[in-house]
Amino acid sequence: MGILSALLTVGKLSLSFLPNIEVVTLLLMVYTVVLGWQRAILAAVVFSLVEILLYGIQTWVVMYLLIWPALVALTALLQRPLGKLRFGRIGYALVAGLYGFVFGFLCAVVEACFYTGSRGFLPYFALYWVKGLPFDALHAAGNLILNLLLFTPLIKLFQTISAKLRLA
């Protein structure tokens, strides 16, 4: 679990110089497909806790503790029994791309819950969400491209490692 969570953290940090381009979505989807949703959710929670240690507690903590397990659950729902993929790599890439937009939407919901004040939830949410759409588009495009290129090779790599370590 430590290695899986460390890969999430190192992957995120290594791409942090690019705006909203990350491998966390890709890796959590791969973990879910190869190792099952239970291990993937645990890796997501440990990753979120490590992020708190690195960056401190802010409103994004609530969002991370919701959105990463939700991605794992969604990926698990997209599988057939016995770990077989319901969609090909293009289907999973599209899900990852759409998740870039969902991520921004859910961020706006969480932020509006914390900072509505006297202005009301809906106006704050709408402004926050619309303001972030260019970054959400980058996030979606990055997720789509990374999944198209790396989802299948990483599935095969993790299946091989998992079989050798008898994890799956």
Burial class (CB in 10 A: 0-12, 13-18, 19+), 9: middle
pLDDT attached to residue 75 = 92
**Is residue 46 within 8 Å of residue 5, measured between CB atoms?**
yes
pLDDT band at 87 (very low <50, low <70, confident <90, very high): confident
| Helices of type H across 78-120 | 89-115
**Residue 127 belongs to a domain with what CATH number?**
1.10.1760.20
- Among all chains, which residue has been given the structure tokens 């609530």? 62
Residue 4, pLDDT > 60, answer yes
Domain membership of residue 28 as a residue range = 2-165
**CA separation, residue 138 to residues 50, 116, 145 (Å):** 25, 26, 11
Q: Which of 34-43, 73-82, 114-123 has the highest mean pLDDT?
A: 34-43
Query: Is this structure's pTM higher than 0.85?
Result: yes
Split into its structural domains, the chain has a count of 1
